[in-house]
Structure 1
């Protein structure tokens, strides 16, 4: 087999020189050090700041959500309590209205009963007055008839005539 020479080695590795590769490797390492020192640190710092900012915003948003949820629950509870209070007020008003209605009805019934009793007493008094007046009239007419009877002797025909006159006088006075 053939021995490799420098030109063959050069051709076998694809035309690359080891010295050029070493120089390029050194420059790449220097570039990495410079990037790490001047670019990577600030980039990582900005990324950390951004991460902290996003985490802080998420935490604030979570707190706001929790506070909004708590406020919503409080508002719902207040609304429920307000509805209960309104329902209680309505029921109390109905109860008071019903009670007042019963009181008014009872008062009107008592007043009607009082008026009825008063009217009955007044009717009774007026009836008694009328009976008394009638009795007085009958008594005076009886005296009148008796005096006429005494003045003259009356026969059956005269007696009937007197009774008719008496009835006629009583009817006219009514």
Structure 2
């Protein structure tokens, strides 16, 4: 059949009906008009809306990206500031600890010196009391020795013997 058509076209004898061609052309134009009015218009409107929606989404995404970058930078700055403040707090705490340590050490030294001085004063007092007590004993012994010497007249040997006895008595009394 294709051979007939090719042979007929080559011979110049095509069975072409002009009415059919015009009818098909009119139907095609009407179909194009209907498609333009009912199909292409709404499709184009949908495509425009879709394009605007995508453009809005892209703009929104760019704005969100810029805001995210801004927030990230703010967070970095806050983190940097927090680290600086933390370092300052640690340094202040360390200095305060050192000051307190020095204060405690100085207070302990002062207390030790005070106790040492109090002990020295107590030793001096006790020494003075001991010396006073010893003087009283020596005085009483002297009076005792003198009274005994007065009671009897002693020879030199008796005096030495008496003194040695009293010294022994004093030694045993301690």
Report if TM-score (shorter chain) is over 0.5: yes
The CA RMSD measured in Å over matched residues stands at 2.3
Tell me what 1:136 maps to: 136
> Counterparts of 1:11 and 1:53 in 2: how far apart (Å)?
54
Runs of 4+ in 1 over 4 A off after TM superposition: none
Alignment correspondent of 1:15: 14
Structure 2: gaps (5+ residues): 1-6
1:22-101 correspondence to structure 2 within 5 Å: 22-101=22-101
Q: Deviations over 1:77-97 (max 9, x none)?
A: 323322322332222222112
| Cα 1:16/1:120, change in 2 over 3 Å | farther
Instruction: Structure 1 unaligned segments of length 5 or more: list them.
Output: 1-8
Name the TM-score, length of structure 1 as normaliser.
0.81
- CA distance in 2 between counterparts of 1:71 and 1:168 reads 101
- Normalising by structure 2, we get a TM-score of 0.81
Q: Secondary structure at the match of 2:14?
A: coil
